[in-house]
Amino acid sequence: MRTSRRWWSLAGIVVGALGLAASYLAAALLHVRESPVVAVAEGVTALTPGFIAEWAIQNLGTSDKSALVIGILVILGLLFALLGVLGRRQWWWASLGFVVLAVVGGVAVAAKPGTTGTDLVPVFVGLFVWLGAFALCAQALRRWEVVEESDDLGHDPAHTRRGFFVLVGVLAAGTAVVGGLGRIASGAREKVEHSRRLLRLEKVTEPKPPAAARVDVPGVPPWQTPAEDFYLIDTAFIKPTLEPVEWELRIHGMVEREITLSYDDLVSREITEDWITLNCVSNEVGGNLIGNAWWSGVRLAGIIAEAGPKEGADAVLQTSVDGWTCGTPLAALTDDRNAMLAVAMNGEPLPVEHGFPVRTIVPGLYGYVSACKWVVDMEVTRFEDFDAYWTQKGWSEMGPVKLSSRIDVPTQGSGVDAGTVVVAGTAWHQNTGIETVEVSLDGGAWTPATLAEVPSMDTWVQWRAEVDVDAGDHSVRVRATNRDGEVQTGVETGVLPDGATGWHTVGFSAS
């Protein structure tokens, strides 16, 4: 009599989980940033078509990465159960399956830039654990089968069954222990956070938001966005953790002289500071993937001038320590805008999630072509010679921020008192600036809004207007005009390939 398939599938699942935990522990002990599972998840993300990636951003937000990792773990669980059942027939079938999974993990790890032999060690550790632990489980299950088929009364089938379940219990407990040790060993984030707290940037000043930049309307977000509320869109499943002493930036390519900067080299230079609004190309009309902060860093124009770009260069391919890339127009890094290598946000060293120790800030460009977190490499080159991460997925090459406005008060579906109603919100067009904002009630004439005073054209502008409404259902829409006289278009387009357009419209009821 053969043992039930469910016990073989249970063995496959437990063995699979133990191997994953072992690879995680090995990655932590060797200070490898990505365990094989994370490497596979990032590989899946890199291969995901642009429209699917955009759907995930819009519908899952910052949970998209967690959802993908959970999905991969569920699939792995099913595969482990299947391998266990296959091992019921022939042990080597299961072994071959585990080898295939290890190869997939190894390819994902090897595909990351800067991979060394050490990065592959966790894959081999997980594979050896899979093969060894499954061999033990298979042996215990075969012994159970032999005893139950035997007529020898001297062998107790219950004893062999208990032996299998004890083994499974030990392996499951081992999974928990090994996973816990991996958690403890992966203290890189805690170490970097400690270094960040101790870091003193003497030239960085505290933000002082100008009072005139705010409108006194409840419900309008703060003009200065706290770091913890600033939107987060990136492709890193595990945020890179770099000590300042480990950080180094190489500027090379079509330049007269290559430059390599350490963190100390960078912060010893003149520090520039500015209020700059950043917004994501995935921000839909009226969306909240936007924030305004006080950024401190070193202007890129001077650094690139030292390198001496050669004739014909028109782009800079930026690369993050995790391999993410973006192509930035060379002109945007060398003109009079305050493009910088930022080291601080709102008067404090950059949070890890926002690129600590150094990231790039370029006013007037969407982040997907400019805002490289954890930046470690800048190659001066030509757009025709490369494809960056998001442009491979269908986004446009240049990515200038589009003239936009948003209604924050009243909110969609809210109720107000009939009579005079305050409408308020924000408008932005970095590197150009906002001249006027207008609102229209129920498709009627445009009413000018009052704008707050902002310190530069690189920040969003808060505004307020008043409209008279009767009882009933209404809608209000907004449009802005920039300082060049361009009026915001009402033509509605989606975020692909270079940002959404249209007038934000809000429906509300008055009584």
Instruction: Provide the 3-class DSSP secondary structure of residue 441.
Output: strand
Q: What domains can be seen in the chain, in order of their start residue? A: 5-186 (no CATH), 211-393 (3.90.420.10), 404-510 (2.60.40.650)
Question: 104-111 long-range contacts, Cβ below 8 Å, gap at least 24?
Answer: 104/40, 105/23, 105/36, 105/37, 105/39, 105/40, 106/36, 107/43, 108/36, 108/39, 108/40, 108/42, 108/43, 109/34, 109/36, 109/39, 111/39, 111/43
Confidence (pLDDT) at 1 = 45
Beta bridge partners of residue 293, listed in sequence order: 276
Q: How far is CA 304 from the centre of its chain?
A: 27
C-alpha to C-alpha distances, 226 to 61, 79, 213, 229, 346, nearest whole angstrom = 19, 44, 16, 5, 8
Confidence (pLDDT) at 499 = 94
Continuous H helices in 30-63: 36-47, 50-60
Contact 370/395 with Cβ under 8 angstroms? no
Confidence (pLDDT) at 71 = 79
Compute the half-sphere exposure of residue 82: CA atoms within 13 Å on the CB side of its CA: 10
Confidence (pLDDT) at 35 = 67
Pairwise CA distance, residues 454 & 274, whole Å: 12
Residue type, 468: D
Q: What average pLDDT values come out for the chain (511 residues) when binned by 10 residues?
A: 73 85 76 67 66 65 69 83 84 85 84 75 84 85 71 57 76 74 64 82 94 94 95 80 93 97 96 96 94 98 97 97 94 96 96 95 96 97 94 90 98 94 98 97 96 96 96 97 97 93 97 91
Continuous H helices in 32-154: 36-47, 50-60, 64-89, 91-110, 117-149
Instruction: Provide the 3-class DSSP secondary structure of residue 244.
Output: helix
Helix or strand (DSSP H, E) at 169: helix 157-185
Confidence (pLDDT) at 56 = 64
Residue type, 341: L
Reported pTM: 0.73
Pairwise CA distance, residues 386 & 381, whole Å: 8
Exposed (0-12), middle (13-18) or buried (19+): which is 351, by Cβ within 10 Å? middle
Instruction: Provide the 3-class DSSP secondary structure of residue 508.
Output: strand
Joined tokens for residue 53: 């990636």
Q: Rg of the chain's alpha carbons, rounded to an integer?
A: 28
Q: Please list, in sequence order, all residues whose beta carbon lies within 8 angstroms of the beta carbon of residue 495, skipping any fewer than 6 positions away.
A: 54, 58, 281, 282, 283, 284
Confidence (pLDDT) at 57 = 63
